Structure 1
Amino acid sequence: MGIFSRIADIFKANINDTLDRAEDPEKMIKLMVVEMQEALTKSTSALAQAMGNEKRLERQYQQLQSSSEDMQSKAITALKAGNESLAKTALVKKSQVDTQLAQYKQMYESASATTAQMRAQVDKLKAKLDEARMKESTLIARSQQAKAQTQIAKSLGGFDDNAFAKFDKFEQKVLKSEAEAQAFTELSSSNTSLDDQFAELQQNNQVDDELAKLKALLNK
């Protein structure tokens, strides 16, 4: 029983220390499962030793019981043969065996009770480990989801009203630049149109002068 108590104390101490130092829940959960697996391995080993001791005591108890029955049978045989002295000798031997038998019976029953209790504890630890393993993937998934949600919240928090006010300011600058570009384009187009009109007027004057020259030449 002592080893199970020590294993439980060590396990609790390790887990408490882990909780104090843990920064990553995923690592902590995995470590807890590993701790439970190690505790189960040690407990199973202790149970195997206890079962071996129980079997050894059971064999010795059965041998002494057979020896006691054998001495009883020999005493009866001696009495039937009329040899009371030999019967007494067999009964003395039986008494000695019975003393040992009583001791081994007590040891065997105690070992059997201890083994049964240890087996129950190991079964309980196995059930806890199975439960922990089933929860491990779920808890890790929830932890990762919480991290993702936190990251998204932090990202959204970075874009407050001041950030969007800057966007509005930049938009106004872009609109101003677009308006200036459009104005320069219109002015440029207007100047080009005026130059074309003067060029056309000059060309028309030249044509009129040439026409007048031709008319004067014909009238001669």
Structure 2
Amino acid sequence: MGIFSRFTDIINANINSLLDKAEDPEKMVRLIIQEMEDTLVEVRSASAKTLANKKELTQQINKWKSEADDWQSKAELAISKEREDLARAALMEKQKCVDHADALERELGLVDEQIGKLQDEVTQLQDKLADAKNRQKAILMRQKTVSSRLEVKKRLNNFNVDDAIGRFEQYERKIDSIESQVESYDIGKQSLARQFAELEENGKIDSELEALKKKVQAKSSEGPQE
């Protein structure tokens, strides 16, 4: 199993654990990003070690090839000196060096393949990490918005509408009572004013009536003259 696949298993396990515990989504997002960052460090470290291993293998291959060339030169020297036995021994040593170099080159091919996979995983992980960080703010804002909406819904659900309307009507009745008291004072004042007005009006009529009586009596007393 590759590092990237193992990382996915770790993330899924942590997400499931957080969901089971109903953890804060903000903590979950931070944990996912932290896991991705830690895994990226791990992948880069593995890549660095693999590159170092490739360098060491390359050096060993070059060493064996150099020794093979050296034995080739010794075999040629032995032949020139008519020492076929030494030439044969030199060629045998050369073959050993070639075999070692070939084995290391096959191993180097596997290392190159591993490096390619690690580089792909680093690229994928970097892209996913960048995407996660870009989405983190939006996710947290959505979480806060949903939490606020949920709180409002809870308050509305706990709010007793009938009780509120009952209190509202009670306040209306109190206001009606106060308004009635104010109007009763106004009515009392209007009634008193009207009574005085009637008294004044009656006084004028009485005065006019008395004047009219005197006028009629005066005419009667004068009477017709013979």
Question: TM-score, normalising length from structure 1?
Answer: 0.74
Distance 1:113 1:92, change over 3 A: same
Deviations 1:73-132 (A, max 9, x none): 332344345443332232121022122222212222222212221221222111111111
Does structure 2 retain, via aligned residues, the 8 Å contact 1:54–1:115?
Answer: no
Which residues of 2 match residues 21-36 of structure 1 at below 5 A? Answer: 21-36=21-36
By how many angstroms is 1:161 displaced? 5.5
- RMSD after superposition: 3.1
| Unmatched tracts of structure 1, length 5 or more | 199-220
Structure-to-structure mapping, 1:1-150, within 5 angstroms: 6-150=6-150
Q: In structure 2, do the counterparts of structure 1 residues 81 and 197 end up closer, same or farther at CA, with 3 Å as the change threshold?
A: farther
Greater Cα shift, 163-172 or 41-50 = 163-172
Distance, in Å, in 1 between the alignment partners of 2:81 and 2:94 is 19
Secondary structure of 2:12's aligned partner:
helix
Q: Is the 8 A contact 1:7 1:39 kept in 2?
A: yes
**TM-score (normalizing by structure 2):** 0.73
Query: Identity rate of aligned residues, in percent?
Result: 30
Deviates more, 1:134-143 or 1:35-44: 35-44
Q: CA deviation at 1:3?
A: 5.2
1: CA distance between counterparts of 2:4 and 2:46?
8
1: CA distance between counterparts of 2:181 and 2:23? Answer: 57
Which residue does 1:160 correspond to in 2? 161
* Contact 2:54 2:108 (C-alpha < 8 Å) held by counterparts: yes
Q: Which has the larger radius of gyration?
A: 2
The letter of the residue matching 1:171 is E
Alignment-mate amino acid for residue 147 of structure 2: K
Which residue of structure 2 lines up, in the alignment, with residue 211 of structure 1? none
